[in-house]
């Protein structure tokens, strides 16, 4: 969890931010209102969307976004599918399952953002849970809408672990870490950067924890990305393209200065624990965004070969009647120029 070396580009970013603040802005009445749901509460895991708003990237595209938190990717996907929200930040694996069961309503992923899936099982080291098989007979805290909990049955099935042998305890995301700290459960499912830094915020040392990433158990798929409702794609493809460009610029800006993204949180919630959220944002960028693939080619792509293998794995894990095709999940027409999705700090 060492901090990224981002200082080499920070001066340029701050200069760009100052210019964004200084330039004339459109009157709010001239901007199109758009609703965007995050995957979770507003925190360091999704702060770049708020940074994009504060730097005027949405306003540049003629958009006035309402950016709201949610209870998990399942919640975000349902909101977008129902047209309660136009866009969302959500997990593509959860989207695969939703779309397979709701083929006419499933939103489309229009831009991948996190290249490495952060879904994990987290426990205390002294609980002795070092493999998935160790979950048998243990209490595991799971949620109803978060991506890690939704994907858990698929991961266990693919690794020949009988899910009925695991004592799954339904917990809310608000109480998940508390249940683990109190040892009311032996492990919890969730994003590594969500659970670990929530625990650190409660004085748990990282050295006390064991993290088992789903990526190490067969999940070679993307993490969260930008989704859009089928309705808005059909009605206003230009808006979809502009939203994607603004969001890409926000994540690029955050990759150069995570602290700036956290200041956007502070602006909305003065009680934000700055040090912990900055560490969380830095960790997200280092471990889930800036993989070797992304450094080489930028983020946003839905590589067909990787998609084919991942979709097959998810179809088997979720016991879907067939393997969905990539174009059922992802629409590549709205990717921003590569200049808005690459050019990371060394």
| Domain boundaries along the sequence of the chain | 7-116+222-340, 119-217
- Residue 13: per-residue pLDDT: 45
Contact 115, 223 (CB under 8 A): yes
Class in CATH terms, 119-217: alpha beta
The overall pTM is greater than 0.85: yes
Q: Where does the pLDDT of residue 185 fall: very low under 50, low under 70, confident under 90, or very high at 90 and above?
A: very high
Angle between helix axes 237-256 and 47-54 (nearest 10 degrees) is: 100
Question: H or E stretch including 36?
Answer: strand 32-37
Contact 111, 231 (CB under 8 A): no
Return d(Cα 10, Cα 5) in angstroms, integer.
Answer: 10
CATH number belonging to domain 7-116+222-340: 3.40.190.10
- Residue 26: per-residue pLDDT: 59
Tokens at residue 28, please? 């709010």
Pick from 24-33, 128-137, 284-293: least confident: 24-33
How would you class 94 by CB atoms within 10 Å of its CB: exposed for 0-12, middle for 13-18, buried for 19 or more?
buried
**Average confidence (pLDDT) over 134-149:** 91
Phi then psi dihedrals of residue 236, to 5 deg:
-150, 75
- Residue 343: per-residue pLDDT: 84
Question: H or E stretch including 66?
Answer: strand 63-68
Tens digits of per-residue pLDDT, 215-233?
999 899 999 999 999 999 9
Question: H or E stretch including 225?
Answer: strand 225-228
Question: How many separate helices (H) and strands (E) can be counted in the chain?
Answer: 15, 10
- Residue 174: per-residue pLDDT: 87
CA 69, 168, 137: angle at the middle one, nearest 5?
150
Report strand pairing: 63-68 vs 209-213.
unpaired
The chain-wide mean pLDDT, for the chain, equals 90
Q: How far is CA 216 from CA 74, 90, 117, 134, in A?
A: 23, 21, 10, 15
Contact 145, 74 (CB under 8 A): yes
Tokens at residue 236, please? 């206003």
Q: How far apart are the first and last CA of the chain?
A: 17
Phi then psi dihedrals of residue 342, to 5 deg:
-150, 180
- Residue 25: per-residue pLDDT: 57
- Which residues are bridge partners to 213 per DSSP? 120
**Domain 7-116+222-340 and domain 119-217 have a common topology:** yes
Beta-carbon count within 10 A of 220 CB: 12
CA-derived radius of gyration, the chain: 19
- Residue 94: per-residue pLDDT: 93
Cα-Cα-Cα-Cα dihedral sign, residues 301, 306, 307, 313: negative
Contact 151, 214 (CB under 8 A): yes
């Amino acid at each position: 969890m060492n901090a990224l070396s981002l200082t080499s580009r920070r001066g340029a970013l701050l200069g760009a931010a100052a210019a964004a603040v200084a330039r004339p802005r459109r009157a709010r009445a001239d901007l199109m209102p758009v609703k965007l749901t995050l995957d979770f509460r507003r925190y360091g895991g999704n702060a770049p969307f708020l940074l994009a708003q504060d730097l005027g990237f949405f306003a540049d595209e003629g958009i006035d976004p309402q950016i709201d938190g949610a209870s998990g990717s399942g919640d975000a996907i349902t909101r977008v599918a129902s047209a309660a929200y136009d866009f969302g930040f959500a997990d593509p694996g959860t989207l695969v399952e939703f779309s397979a069961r709701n083929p006419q309503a499933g939103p489309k992923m229009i831009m991948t953002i996190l290249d490495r899936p952060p879904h994990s099982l987290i426990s205390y080291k002294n609980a002795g849970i070092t493999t998935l098989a160790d979950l048998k007979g243990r209490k595991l805290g799971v949620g109803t809408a978060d991506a890690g909990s939704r994907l858990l049955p698929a991961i266990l099935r693919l690794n020949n672990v009988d899910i009925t042998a695991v004592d799954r305890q339904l917990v809310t995301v608000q109480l998940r870490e508390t249940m683990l700290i109190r040892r009311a459960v032996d492990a919890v499912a969730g994003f590594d950067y969500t659970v670990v830094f929530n625990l650190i915020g409660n004085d748990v040392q990282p050295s006390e924890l064991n993290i088992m990433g789903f990526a190490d158990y067969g999940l070679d798929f993307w993490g969260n990305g930008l989704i859009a409702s089928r309705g808005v794609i059909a009605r206003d493809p230009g808006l979809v393209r502009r939203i994607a460009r603004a969001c890409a610029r926000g994540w690029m800006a955050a990759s150069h200065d995570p602290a700036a993204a956290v200041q956007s949180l502070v602006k909305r919630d003065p009680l934000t624990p700055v040090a912990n959220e900055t560490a969380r944002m830095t960790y997200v960028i280092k471990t889930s965004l800036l993989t070797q693939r992304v450094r080489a080619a930028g983020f946003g792509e839905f590589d067909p070969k990787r998609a084919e293998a991942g979709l097959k794995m998810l179809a088997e894990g979720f016991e879907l009647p067939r393997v969905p095709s990539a174009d059922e999940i992802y629409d590549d027409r709205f990717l921003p120029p590569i200049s808005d999705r690459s050019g990371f700090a060394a």
